[in-house]
Amino acid sequence: MISAKRAKEPKIENKGKLINSTVLFLCLLVSLTIPNVIFSGAGWYQSLHLMKWAVAFAPIALAAAWAGTNMLLKGKKKLNLEMEPFGVVWLFLILFLTVQPLWAPITSVPTFVREWFFFAALWITYFLTYHDFDNRKLVILLWFGALNAALNVIFAELQYRDLIKDLWFILPTPGKYIGNTGQQNMLGLWVAMMLFSSSFMFLFKRGGKVSQGLQWANIVILFLLSWGLWNTTSRSAILSFVVGFGVLLLTASRLKEHISVEGRVWKRAILLGVILVTTLVGTILYGRGGAFLDKANNMLTQVEEVGKRDSIWATALTMFKMHPLTGVGLGHFKWNYLEAQKEMLKVYPGKEWKFTLWAHNEIFQWFCETGLFGGMVLVALGGWWLWCFARAVLSKKALSLEALWACGLLFLIWFDALWTRPFHRIEDALWMAFAFAIVNREILPKNFQWTKIRRDYMVRALGGAILCFSLLGIFSFGGAMVADKLMVRALRSKDPEVARRLLEEAQEHLMVQDLAEKLIAYHYLEKAKYSGNVEDLVEGINRLQTYFNKEPQSRELYRLIYLYKAFGDKKMLDSLIGYANPSSLDEILK
């Protein structure tokens, strides 16, 4: 096992705290380690994600309100607050996105607002962690996170074997292997992150003796998470684990002058390898390991398809070319996908038609949504961070074990971001912001001249803004939860008028306005189906078309095509047919 010679704490210059460190720890404990295992249940319209978002966002918002109040009341002198460069650039991006609707073709205001609060929550998590998190408490977060991931693997096993009939707290997806994350690659990423963290705890310790009970518990978790990782068959997650763990070992070996080896480190590393190989063989014989090998073989033999992402990435490139300077707007990649794909297929007619909400590469998606300027800021910031990291490693700078963990986790997450969408799941993205804060305290400059705060009012103004937006976020999300219940009541109501009134009431809440608008359109169509009322049918079509203009999706596309075909509206049919799958046109038009 490897241990630090001395418990090294990064020096934090602040005299005053933005937030009590225990309160911050408790907020992070909830937001980081609980959401992935939560299934909201059938009582909610957004049955998978809503309670995940609540548990992830609410503690961060409360912590932000606390810190904002302190900044507003105490100002610069009492807090001695300094802003570091990475956080300042991140804050600048928030301001940039705030005014983006002035030039970007935003069509869905609810989407933009939700994504803005998402991005702001990542920054405030980074900001608070950087200034006030106690590194000694990291191991507690890792244990709780590992237990969450282990529980998700158990849930996935029950789903796969169709043993979840009466288990209301597990996502009802028999035959799938997704746990309560809701998607195979996202379960793979979460398990990979926590397998990495458990492996870190297995090899490294902060100091002091670790009880045998905890060591054996960690070994059991390592077996369970390794088994789960192979069974997800997620190539991106498995490769990301290899990258993150490799960076951890390489960085630690480079900095060996600052750590001491207590004999069994290589044996433990070999044991980790044995666990991974043993569980792989086990999954091949008794699980889904064979499916993983088939997918890996397909990736190697069909390189040109890039894991069936070639058409998606070609569409992303087309979208960027269509809006290179303005971008399509934060959160609007998905609402521009059909349009960009139509243009892409003109250039690459042999590519596969598909509909997806994500670019399956977070950098591509960021360029598409923010344009060239936003993309270059991200590249510049990332390049600077990599340069500072390389300089710290090459100069053998003394880093804490917590910083080593953070470096490895960041490489894991960002490698996964090249293939999937970790930054669009708040329960995973918060870990990225948290890890950046941990390591940036030690490898990045504390400040530059342009980041220094020279006026007391600047701290108070920033604190006031943080407080206001935190409270606004809390109340907006609370309203969204109320509206979600209204939508559930509407869908269960047998009285069409009552259902419509409930949906219209839900539509008044901005955060779910688009969801309610879609349900109202389908409400009129369903009502017309049973009543035969042509006015209801026309109203439903018009409302669905209005919704489609804001948030184009394949389901609504085909519904409108068939409706216009039945109505004999050739003009509207021709305006939509170009978005459809070319291979389905004959069936549609016959």
Q: What is the pLDDT of residues 393-413, one digit of tens each?
A: 999 888 999 999 999 999 999
Q: Distance between the two ends of the chain, CA-based, in angstroms?
A: 70
Lowest mean pLDDT among 52-56, 130-134, 205-209, 376-380: 205-209
Paired sense of beta strands 2-4 and 204-205, if any:
parallel
Q: Which two tokens stand for residue 563?
A: 């409706």
- Predicted local distance difference test score (pLDDT) of residue 14: 45
Is pLDDT at 2 greater than 50 in this prediction? no
Mean pLDDT, residues 355-362 taken together: 96
pLDDT digits (tens, 9 = 90+) for 557-583: 999 999 999 988 999 999 999 999 998
In single-letter form, the type of residue at position 346 comes to K
- Give, for 122, the enclosing helix (H) or strand (E): helix 109-132
Whether the pLDDT of residue 542 is over 60: the answer is yes
pLDDT tier, 257 (very low <50, low <70, confident <90, very high otherwise):
low
Residues 235-240, mean pLDDT to the nearest whole number = 96
Residue-level pLDDT at 116? 98
Q: Is the pLDDT of residue 497 over 50?
A: yes
pLDDT, tens digit (0-9, with 9 covering 90-100), for 117-170: 999 999 999 999 999 999 999 999 999 999 999 999 999 999 999 999 889 999
Report the percent of the chain where pLDDT is more than 90.
Answer: 79
Q: Quick: pLDDT tens for 286-304.
A: 999 888 888 888 877 776 6
In this prediction, residue 3 has a pLDDT band, given cuts at 50, 70 and 90, of: very low
Q: Say which CATH architecture domain 482-589 belongs to.
A: Alpha Horseshoe (1.25)
- pLDDT over 70, % of the chain: 94
Which tokens belong to 7? 């418990």
Mean pLDDT of 231-252: 94
Segment 11-26 mean pLDDT: 79
Residues 551, 409: Cα–Cα separation, whole Å: 34
> What's the pTM value of the predicted model, to 2 decimals?
0.94
CB-based contact 255:397 (threshold 8 Å): yes
pLDDT band at 86 (very low <50, low <70, confident <90, very high): very high
| CA–CA separation, 424 and 186 (whole Å) | 10
Strand ranges inside 426-510, DSSP E: none
CB 226 within 8 A of CB 276: yes
Per DSSP, the residues of 137-160 read: GHHHHHHHHHHHHHHHHHHHHHHH
Q: Is the dihedral of CA 467, 472, 475, 480 positive or negative?
A: negative
- Domain segments of the chain: what residues? 135-450, 482-589
Q: Indicate if the pLDDT at residue 15 is higher than 60.
A: no
The whole-number average pLDDT for the span 341-362 is 95
Using only the alpha carbons of the chain, give its radius of gyration: 25
Mean predicted confidence (pLDDT) in 429-435: 98
- pLDDT at residue number 254: 80
- Which pair of structure tokens corresponds to residue 539? 């109203």
Least confident of 61-75, 281-295, 348-362: 281-295
pLDDT at 586 over 70: yes
Tell me what the mean pLDDT of segment 447-454 comes to: 84
Mean pLDDT of the chain: 92
d(Cα 187, Cα 153) in Å, to the nearest integer?
Answer: 8
- Order the strands of the 204-205 sheet from edge to edge: 204-205, 2-4, 259-261
Report the pLDDT value the prediction gives residue 207, as an integer from 0 to 100: 59
